[in-house]
Structure 1
């Protein structure tokens, strides 16, 4: 029997040394250590502000309360839309990638601004075209596409552009569908349409503003505009895929028919109150004096 061979003291010391645990998921550890309130990762595109989940939750709650108190705060509505979009922005991007027009929009990344879409050129287009209808909408309601805030809180650059595109096309939906923006019920009706057609959570959260409507407005919304939004949005093609820059000279009615859009009832007409008819005052009958009354046997002259 061969005697057992002893290891040198140096090799024995190396074997006796405790093995240190090495984590394989170093990227996650580095991300957790790097992404904090005091140490944020670099932005992924111009204007990008990375946020933690706690910060997004706080901003979503605060902007939702502020937008409910004042529905005309477009900045709060925009913030709510960004921090609450979640994976829906990715699904909306996939919707664009599955359509030839949507893919071209993502390649070209056009922007709707007053510089790219001058009001004078829009109003010079033939009437009933998409360009003229949108220009007339901007002129009538004193709207400008430049007031739309840039997306800042969405982490993916391509998804950020998708939300930016939706935001800049919002007024086009108003114009083509004929929903006036100065009435809260018209804005809520469009949000209901957008929620069914796009699936963005912010559009559904905006429906909470129904509680602020007056009784007549609430009745119109539930009996007229909500059924219209559900019916039209289900039948319509995804409006995020419309390359509006190429549709400016298209007849608005033709475009609605091609997209399957149903125009809602005229809100201005529905809000008009019938004029009250003034009561007719009967003329007083002059009294007949005994001297003027005819004799019983004398015929009355006609």
Structure 2
């Protein structure tokens, strides 16, 4: 019989804190690694991933479900790859050290609106105003165990509106699907690719635009652009947005709002001639 190996209670607690041993039961759950953290078993993680994937497909406007899908599918590999990409960049390392947050408290929207129209800050503020959203709509990360990787996911989530602003894509389903493919090519996060399944909800003209225009654009531009997770957007607000796009390798897609407007006009004309 092989000898028994005794593990002291102190060593066991140390291993639990490091994530090497995780004790789960109906009445017991490991301590949180950061405020708001919810440790999950493998079964719980898989159940949440499947449920949130189905729910977000049925209703792509359920940002809470999309957030849950992002967190439950990012580990164990993908979020670490994104964190390592930040560590490989001097600016990314500064972001990880500073841990900035993007909210209406950390960004002065009145100041951004006062900047030249060609600046990143004014472009971002104009996009927020046009879409009727604020920087405060992003929920906090809960289901990623590693505290640093949880911040990386939070950073990605809060930078999402900057991606919208620099590409000009609106938050309609058609625009979100296009941006998710762009993000998948740039970040590799599974949720961004899975969310693109919402293309099945697009109507005929929308689906045609996606396959013929926005999918090729998203694949091409997302793959060639620099790692956007390592952009310190807060330090670029006064820069010319065109110069920043060129530096980052971001190609601007055709104006989706204008294309939708022209489509509605054609539909109205056809209805009037019928």
* Structure 2 length-normalised TM: 0.90
Match of 1:63 among 18, 33, 52: 52
Match of 2:5 among 17, 22, 25: 22
Alignment of 1:134 onto 2:117: no
Map 1:9-48 → 2, pairs under 5 A: 21-22=4-5, 27=12, 34-48=23-37
How many Å separate the matches in 1 of 2:83 and 2:199?
29
* Structure 1 length-normalised TM: 0.82
Match of 2:100 among 102, 110, 113: 110
Greater percentage in helix: 2
Once the two structures are superposed, what CA deviation does each residue of 1:70-129 show, in whole Å capped at 9, x if it has no partner?
A: 110100100110011111101100000000110000000000000111221110111110
Unaligned residue ranges in structure 1 (runs of 5+): 1-17, 280-302
SS in 2 for 1:50: coil
Larger RCO: 1 or 2 (CA < 8 Å, sep 6+) = 2
Matched-pair contact (CA < 8 Å) for 1:67–1:73: yes
Unaligned residue ranges in structure 2 (runs of 5+): none
The number of residue pairs the alignment matches comes to 261
What is the aligned partner in structure 2 of residue 101 from structure 1?
91
Match of 1:124 among 114, 119, 122: 114
Alignment of 1:268 onto 2:251: no
Alignment of 1:179 onto 2:169: yes
How many Å separate the matches in 2 of 1:126 and 1:164?
29
Matched-pair contact (CA < 8 Å) for 1:37–1:52: no
SS in 2 for 1:84: helix
Match of 1:83 among 63, 72, 80: 72
Runs of 4+ in 1 over 3 A off after TM superposition: 23-33, 274-279
What is the aligned partner in structure 2 of residue 246 from structure 1?
235
Query: Once superposed, what is the RMSD of the aligned Cα atoms?
Result: 2.2
Q: Give 1 or 2 for the bigger CA radius of gyration.
A: 1
